[in-house]
Structure 1
Amino acid sequence: MNVNKKVLCLTDIENGLEPILQEATNTSAENMLTLQSYGAAISHPYGEIMRSVIIAIYQEDVEEIFVVGTKDKKSSTGHVRTQLEIKKDKIQTLDYLFQHCKPEFFGGTVDEWLDGNSSGAIEKSVEIIRNHPLVPSYVKVRGLIVNPKDGTSSIVDVPVTKTDQVYPDHCLSR
């Protein structure tokens, strides 16, 4: 265990993950920072979650970031989706935008965007953090899937593809 290494874990709103994360990341409780949000996904490279990640890197000297998803989790968005069923015409419009205006919208449908906890969401979040111009190159960024029921974890391998673009394509037209 590297006693000096600071680790930031971006997690879902899930209780009891700390012991699993400490073991999976080989980090002590004193050196682990946890940033919780519904779905643990970064949907925009200049949104509030990404801002918090960047501030943590510089203020806390974070060396490694884990975007954490949970396995076998009951959908916390089920009630939200039931309420949204009433607004089917608006959801159809949003689904059209999600499919045709990427990368501003994360996910292919409103349901995928609301869930935000799939391995695809984790991979996309890892890419956004890795390729962000304000994230230093020495910071390691990885995905992690944990199963709170049995305490197991597995690393999500996201190939390193450095791009200089973290802006939507339509913002770059000159």
Structure 2
Amino acid sequence: MDVTENKNVLLITGMEDKLEQSICHAASIRPENTVILKSVFPHISQPYSDLMRDIITLVFQKKIEEIFIVRSKNEEQADIDLDNFMLRNPHVNDRLQTIDYLFQNGNPEFPFSNLNEWLNGGKPVAVGIKQSVDLIRRHLFIPSHVKVRGFLIDTEHEVLTEIKAE
């Protein structure tokens, strides 16, 4: 892996504690040159979402030269039981059906096919990382000199495995 010691790096990581320490060690990144942005899901679903706006802002404010999207190999996917939620909250059933209709019929505003897929992420971690790398690389507001890479990390052994994007 290239040593990125003196570059300003934006790490987009999962919510696990101390994940950024393992990443910095595995990638030879100096913590003082690192900005960390934590996200529950491994993918950026929309090019003009709040998360993407945060990324763009950090790239310019902090003079970011490289973006790493890194998720743990052992990360568990979200598992929100929508059916159970509706049983416990029957008063929101009509609203949920309306939202589900919008997901199924309102593309491209709703990039997922249904509410359950949106709540739970809908994609394997590696696929989400790959799609996010592609989205950030191609975004109009990300300078072409900013390098964007995606990784899975084995936190136990502090080993990064790069996820190649198109």
What band does the TM-score fall into relative to the shorter chain?
0.7 to 0.9
Structure 2 match to 1:145: 152
SS in 2 for 1:83: helix
Structure 1 match to 2:70: 68
**Contact 1:43 1:105 (C-alpha < 8 Å) held by counterparts:** no
Choose from 22, 25, 45 the match for 2:24: 22
1:7 aligned partner, one-letter code: V
TM-score by length of 1: 0.73
Aligned CA distance change for structure 1 residues 79 and 109 (closer, same or farther; 3 Å): closer
Of the two, which has the highest radius of gyration? Answer: 2
Aligned CA distance change for structure 1 residues 80 and 61 (closer, same or farther; 3 Å): farther
More displaced, 24-33 or 112-121?
A: 112-121
Structure 2 match to 1:168: none
More displaced, 110-119 or 39-48?
A: 110-119
Q: Give the share of equivalent positions with the same residue, in percent.
A: 35
For the residues of structure 2 that align with 1:74 and 1:83, how far apart are their CA atoms?
A: 20
Deviations 1:122-142 (A, max 9, x none): 122112111111100000111
Aligned CA distance change for structure 1 residues 92 and 64 (closer, same or farther; 3 Å): same
For the residues of structure 2 that align with 1:96 and 1:150, how far apart are their CA atoms?
A: 45
Q: Following superposition of structure 1 onto structure 2, how do residues 13-92 of structure 1 map, counting pairs within 5 Å? A: 13-78=15-80, 82-83=84-85
**Contact 1:81 1:111 (C-alpha < 8 Å) held by counterparts:** no
SS in 1 for 2:160: strand
2:67 aligned partner, one-letter code: I
Given the alignment of the two structures, is residue 7 of structure 1 paired with residue 6 of structure 2, yes or no?
Answer: no
The alignment covers a number of residue pairs equal to 159
Shift of 1:111: 4.2
Structure 1 match to 2:135: 128
Root-mean-square deviation (Å):
2.8
TM-score by length of 2: 0.76
Deviations 1:3-48 (A, max 9, x none): 3201111112111211221133321111111101211321211111
For the residues of structure 2 that align with 1:71 and 1:19, how far apart are their CA atoms?
A: 15
Given the alignment of the two structures, is residue 105 of structure 1 paired with residue 105 of structure 2, yes or no?
Answer: no
For the residues of structure 2 that align with 1:91 and 1:37, how far apart are their CA atoms?
A: 24
Shift of 1:83: 2.2
Aligned CA distance change for structure 1 residues 105 and 147 (closer, same or farther; 3 Å): farther
For the residues of structure 2 that align with 1:126 and 1:5, how far apart are their CA atoms?
A: 19
Q: Structure 2: which 5+ residue stretches go unaligned?
A: none
**Contact 2:42 2:125 (C-alpha < 8 Å) held by counterparts:** no
